[in-house]
Amino acid sequence: MSLSTAQPGANPRSGGSTAWRRFRRHRLAVVSLWVLALLFAVVVSAPALEVMLGLDADAVNLFARMAPPGAAHWLGTDELGRDLLLRLLHGGRVSLLVGFTAAVAAAVIGATLGLISGYFGGRVDAIVMRFADGVISLPLLPLLIVLAAIDPGKLGLPEEISGSQSFSLYRIVVIIALVGWPTVARLVRAATLSLRQREFVLVALAQGFGPARIMFRHILPNTASPILVATTLTVGNVILFESVLSFLGLGIQPPMPSWGNMLTGAQDLISEAPALALWPGTLIFLTVISFNLLGDGLQAALDPRSRRVG
C-alpha cells in the first residue's frame, strides 16, 4: 500500500461513495454534468455530422448568406454562407480544447510551484508566494489583451510558425497558462504545509526518500481534490477569456472558428440576423455557467466540511 494513501481506518471505496452521494445531492451540479456531457458528445461528433450532411464547415457560398434554417442547413447560414450548425460545433471543439488545455497546463504549473513552496518553506516559499501575489495583483484581462497583441514576428519566431492557422490557438493556451497558475499554487501550498507533518511523510523521510519522490508520490495525490475543483472552475474562465480575446480579434483567428470570433463576425449583423450572435453567445454562457456549477458541486462533494447542496 502506498504511503500516500495508507491512513488508519481509511476506505478509499467508501470515501468515493460518500463523495458521489454528496455530489448527487447538488442538483445543479448534476444537471451541469449532463449538459457538459451532452455538449461534448455533440461537438465531438462534428466531423461525422459534416459527412452525414454532405457539407463543409469552411465552404463559402455568398449566394446563401444568412439563409434561414431549413433541411439543408438546420440552423441556417452565417454572413459568408457557411453552415451555422457546423461552425458552432467546430467552434465548440476549439473553445473547449483551449479551455481544457490551458486549465490543465495552469494546474500543472501551479501544483508544481505550490508543492515546492509548501514543502521547502522558508525563503523558497516567500519567493514563490510573492511572485504569485504579483501575478494575482495584475489586471488579468488587460494583461491578456496586451500579451495577445504582441507581434510574434518581432520575437524572432519563423514566419511558417507565427503565420500558421493553429498558432493563435497555441498562443492563447500558453498566455493563459502563464498567468492562471497562482490560484492552484496557493491551494496546493496550503495543503502541502499541512501534509508535510503527517505520519506517512515522516515515515518516507525516515526511509531516506528524496524531496521529489515525497512531493510527487506521497503529497501530491493527497492534494488532488483542491486541484480538481480549481481546474474545473478555471476551464469556464478560460473559455470566457478566449471568447473575449477572439471577439476583440486577438484570439483564435479566422477561418478557424471559435465561439468568440463567431460573435465578432455577427456584431454588425445583429439587426439583420440576430441568430448569428444568439447561438454562440448562448453556448458560451451555458458552458461557463455549467463548469462553474460543476466546480461548486465537486467542492461540496470532496470537502467533508462542506454542507452546501443545490
Find out if CATH 2.60.40.1120 is the number for domain 86-302: no
Residue 233 has pLDDT above 60, yes or no: yes
28-58 pLDDT, tens per residue?
999 999 999 999 999 999 999 888 888 888 8
Residue boundaries of the structural domains of the chain: 86-302
Read off the pLDDT of each residue in 76-102 and give the average, rounded to a whole number. Answer: 92
Cis bond before residue 255 (omega within 30° of 0):
yes
Average of per-residue pLDDT values in the chain: 85
One-letter amino acid at 48 equals: A
Where helices occur in the chain by DSSP H, the ranges are 12-25, 27-44, 46-53, 84-120, 122-137, 140-148, 159-162, 167-179, 182-195, 199-206, 211-213, 224-247, 259-266, 275-302
pLDDT at res. 154: 73
Read off the pLDDT of each residue in 278-299 and give the average, rounded to a whole number. Answer: 91
Range name among 183-187, 211-215, 225-229, 306-310 with the lowest pLDDT average: 306-310
pLDDT at res. 116: 94
High-pLDDT (> 70) share of the chain, %: 91
127-151 pLDDT, tens per residue?
999 999 998 888 888 888 888 888 7
pLDDT at res. 248: 83
High-pLDDT (> 90) share of the chain, %: 35
Residue 305 has pLDDT above 80, yes or no: no
CB 259 within 8 A of CB 243: yes
